Structure 1
């Protein structure tokens, strides 16, 4: 399976701008720029997209973990907060992806919840490629 996206950029790093398009069409010439990345201008940025991807990947992995264990989740909601910081070696680097999960799963006890959520965090394909600290805070309702 191969998934594709295209970035198109015009101009310099600080003053230029670009757009992102995915083959699925979910993103279609979605604007991004220095201002959408480092300020609050509308548009997206690579870290936001990584956060969305990590939250989605982890949540789907947990849904499969729960299903295999015989649980039917009522709701799973995950926020991923990706940190971009200055790199002492130069430039910037992603240093952390902090996952915050709220789950409502009838019949699931806390110990099994901890086990399955931990398995999902480690087993999610994006967790396996993110070269940064990954944390998981979870609440079972």
Structure 2
């Protein structure tokens, strides 16, 4: 396992699990949670799921990693749109697991260049990609110009 020198630490607390509430210690994130109907829950309006929160974080983090890599290569990926699909379901080994599909779109960059930048961001830079590697199926779907 790699060790890190922390630059920033986010702190959040959840109460009530998937049918409760989660909030960042500094108040920047506050969300009521409920289990979606597709998973047998109430799917209460105005609520979210841990998968939504993970998808939002991964999309933002990957976008930052892509922008970082692009700048290193003297390219501009600031117009890239990252959409993260996070699925949850039963694992073959028991319990539940997640799978991720990252859609990377930037028509201002040629397809081959965007694929290379996205792969580098995924393999070398993005902390979410590092954290999921080896135990979460993460697929990249890249569409450039």
Where in structure 1 are there 5+ consecutive unaligned residues?
A: none
Structure 2 residue aligned with 1:114: 115
SS of the residue aligned with 2:16? Answer: strand
Question: Shift of the alpha carbon at 1:114?
Answer: 1.8
Cα distance, 1:104–1:25 mapped onto 2, change above 3 Å: farther
| Two-structure CA RMSD over aligned residues (Å) | 2.2
Question: Shift of the alpha carbon at 1:37?
Answer: 7.9
Indicate yes or no: 2:58 matched with 1:57: no
SS of the residue aligned with 2:13? Answer: strand
How many corresponding residue pairs?
A: 132
Q: Taking structure 1 as the reference length, what is the TM-score of the superposition? A: 0.81
Cα distance, 1:36–1:27 mapped onto 2, change above 3 Å: farther
Structure 2 residue aligned with 1:21: 23
Indicate yes or no: 2:88 matched with 1:84: yes
Write the deviation string for residues 32-59 of structure 1: whole angstroms up to 9, x where unpaired. Answer: 1234783543311111111111111111
Give, in whole Å, the separation in 2 of the partners of 1:36 and 1:76. Answer: 32
Greater fraction strand? 1
Structure 1 residue aligned with 2:34: 33
